[in-house]
Amino acid sequence: EVQLVESGGGLVKPGGSLRLSCAASGFTFSNAWMSWVRQAPGKGLEWVGRIKSKTDGGTTDYAAPVKGRFTISRDDSKNTLYLQMNSLKTEDTAVYYCTTERNYYDSSGYSNWFDPWGQGTLVTVSS
Amino acid sequence: SYELTQPLSVSVALGQTARITCGGNNIGSKNVHWYQQKPGQAPVLVIYRDSNRPSGIPERFSGSNSGNTATLTISRAQAGDEADYYCQVWDSSTALCVFGTGTKVTVL
């Protein structure tokens, strides 16, 4: 069974740092492209960023609100995805989900979707 | 940046058909994916690439995409279908993922 389990959430002061982890099992993690998606309380889903598999370059992409502050990394030997969050702001308060990205190429170009998702971990940025 | 617009809420009578729209500029040229999220739970993929259902998703869920509107259709709506629904695309021009604003479906 495919499983994603996030951890590391908690309360942090504005300007502080936090590292989230996502432990993966039930699939070949090293081949997977992985993303983080967040959801502020009572709000919609917001893509945070992703990391490609090492065989596909291991590169990262980030949404504008977190670029330069957040870093996504992976440890394939531990089947674990990470999200390092620095210079946190109150607007970063959200449940953070890790998810496996599925990719597809056709005449329309590149497309991706997310399946499955972890249960999420809550990050609260407040003084 | 690319935007996806959904109605805030949709109500449907038990056993009837609900249609949730997702509007975007020339969205018909993109692949659209749909997620269901029940309160306190993680999102679940219900439709991918416009009209494909993952295994385990009932045939009552279907999707279409053309022009400037993609549509998720829930046939024979059940109480268990009450949830928030989000559409999602990949915007190739910015290399960013975009989610719709979300629609709350209520089954009466």
Identify the CA nearest to B68 among candidates B4, B18, B7, B20: B4
User: Closest to B45 (Cβ–Cβ): which among A64, A115, A119?
Assistant: A115
**A47 to B44: CB separation less than 8 angstroms, yes or no:** no
Minimum Cα–Cα distance from A95: chain B residue: B42
- pLDDT above 80 for B42: yes
- pLDDT above 80 for B4: yes
Chain B hits for A110, CB-CB cut-off 8 Å, are: 90, 92
Res A121: pLDDT = 98
Tokens coding B69: 């509107």
**B45 to A116: CB separation less than 8 angstroms, yes or no:** yes
- pLDDT above 80 for B50: yes
**A44 to B88: CB separation less than 8 angstroms, yes or no:** no
Res A120: pLDDT = 98
Res A54: pLDDT = 97
**B44 to A113: CB separation less than 8 angstroms, yes or no:** no
The whole-number average pLDDT for the span B1-10 is: 96
- pLDDT above 90 for B95: no
What are the pLDDT digits (tens) for A96-122?
A: 999 999 999 888 788 999 999 999 999
Question: What percent of chain A has a predicted confidence (pLDDT) above 90?
Answer: 94
- Give the closest-approach CA distance of A13 to chain B in angstroms: 25
Res A109: pLDDT = 82
Chain B hits for A57, CB-CB cut-off 8 Å, are: none
Burial class (CB in 10 A: 0-12, 13-18, 19+), A85: buried
What are the pLDDT digits (tens) for B8-35?
A: 999 999 999 999 999 999 999 999 999 9
Tokens coding B66: 């053309």
Distance CA B20, CA B104 (A): 9
Question: Which residues, other chains included, contact B98 with Cβ-Cβ below 8 Å and sequence gap of 6+?
Answer: A47, B1, B2, B3, B4, B88, B89, B90, B91
CB within 8 Å of chain A, chain B residues 9-28: none
Q: Hey, which residues does A49 pair with through a beta bridge?
A: A36, A62
Chain B hits for A114, CB-CB cut-off 8 Å, are: 33, 35, 43, 45, 88
Identify the CA nearest to B16 among candidates B73, B64, B59, B75: B75
- pLDDT above 90 for A34: yes
**A44 to B86: CB separation less than 8 angstroms, yes or no:** yes
Chain A hits for B30, CB-CB cut-off 8 Å, are: 108, 111
